Amino acid sequence: MGLDLSSVGHRTSPISYEYDFHQTVLYALGVGATRDELDFLYEGRGPLVLPSFAVIPAYAPVAQLFERTRCDMLKLLHGAQSVRLHRPIPAQGRLETVGEVAGIYDMKKLAQVMLSTRTTFQGEPLFDTEWTLYIRDEGGFGGPRPPKLDLPKISSGQAPTFSTTLPTSPEQALLYRLTGDLNPLHADPEFAGRAGFSEGPILHGLCTFGIVTRALIRHLSSDVRRVRALGAQFRKPVWPGDAIRTEGYLTNDGRYALEAYAGDRPDPVITNAWAEVTPS
């Protein structure tokens, strides 16, 4: 197999990420924020920082871990993403992030690679991320199965607590990639075709993740302080220009279960999504 199983447990050195409103505003625009979300787009109001921005400082260590595990980019699918915040993300600062190969699991035809990062600000934990990657044709190596997840359940017949549809532009992926995710799958039609997407470049899963986050934040009246954690599984591709409808369900355990749909297609593009939110 191509994957390096001995990479499990490998940690990167701390990697610095220094930013101000330029980076947080570009990220907000990259995930489709509009002028009616001015608190996230104008430095005169902070600006506020979307909780899903936590993935951005993780790009550099995650890229190092890609190389260490020998992930084949043509076989790689981003399966799931989660973010856990210890406090709201400041509008500017210098962060330190350490990445780790948390596990490589056998799913018969697929291998599942789990990468995690921990980011600190002024020496204190700020947020953690977890990246679930599927590598096609790399399973069957006799390794352990992936751990089971504790996900909130939508009750049968339950109506959504909120439903929000947000547009994307045909250029959304070209804008989002300026935040640091330069995978040619999202820009180069020839590369996308070789990766199995004859329709053309697809939208970054993390861009859709950010759009779902915006929908949740709208429901919370932009109170980013209430968001403690977010997670999502990426089920189907999204193309730039698709409108994304997010449905949120407040569950019995106090978490939100989330689903997202793209365009007029009936099957969700994001499932098993969730959010932990503190009471107002």
Residue 202 known to be catalytic? yes
Dihedral over Cα of 263, 268, 270, 273: its sign: positive
Residue 227 contacts residue 86 (beta carbons within 8 Å): no
CA distance 55 to 261: 22
Of the candidates 12, 248, 207, the residue with the CA atom closest to the CA atom of residue 116: 12
What does the radius of gyration of the chain's CA atoms come to, in whole angstroms?
18
Residue 181 known to be catalytic? yes
Catalytic residue among 15, 30, 56, 186: 186
| Bridge partners (DSSP) listed for residue 223 | none
Catalytic residue among 32, 79, 180, 205: 205
Catalytic residue among 106, 128, 181, 242: 181
Residue 205 known to be catalytic? yes
Catalytic residue among 15, 135, 202, 217: 202
CA distance 84 to 231: 9
The residues that are catalytic are 181, 186, 202, 205
